[in-house]
Amino acid sequence: ETYGTNAVANHHTMIPKAILDHPIIDFLAKNPILNGFLIRIFLAWFLPWLMDGSEVPYTDIDFHVFTDAAKYISMGKSPYDRHTYRYTPFLAAFLSYMPKEVGRYIFCIADTICGWIILRFRQSRRQPSENSNLLTQLQDGIW
């Protein structure tokens, strides 16, 4: 397809109108929070299974710090007995009441909430007409 009148220019990029009119692109643009949440949930389930036995594990070291601190709480100890734990004791206490793997999904929810806050901030800093631009909505989904 040519990039003449059937294309949309934005930030010096030409994208064929047929791509922008596709229903999947429309869904992705209009539901960035849902899409981000579903991607996070999938990755939290799939990647530890795939990579945690490998030389470079998927699970971040901080997750191990959190879950170790939760074990300390379960044993009646302070989470700060776990070296490098420097977070709120509430978080360790909260995680101590659930299975270790559920914590991954709790972090997915918290990360999605942070994404929602960033999205609202980005939208509030633009002109209202910019918020309806499909390419801008797709960029919001990346954030």
Question: What's the pLDDT tens digit per position in 52-109?
Answer: 777 776 667 788 888 899 999 999 999 999 888 888 899 899 999 998 888 889 989 9
Residues 6+ apart with CB under 8 A from 107: 44, 63
Q: For 123, what's the count of Cα atoms within 13 Å in the CB-facing half-sphere?
A: 15
Question: What's the pLDDT tens digit per position in 4-48?
Answer: 444 444 444 566 777 777 788 777 777 888 888 998 899 888 888
User: Full-prediction pTM beyond 0.85?
Assistant: no
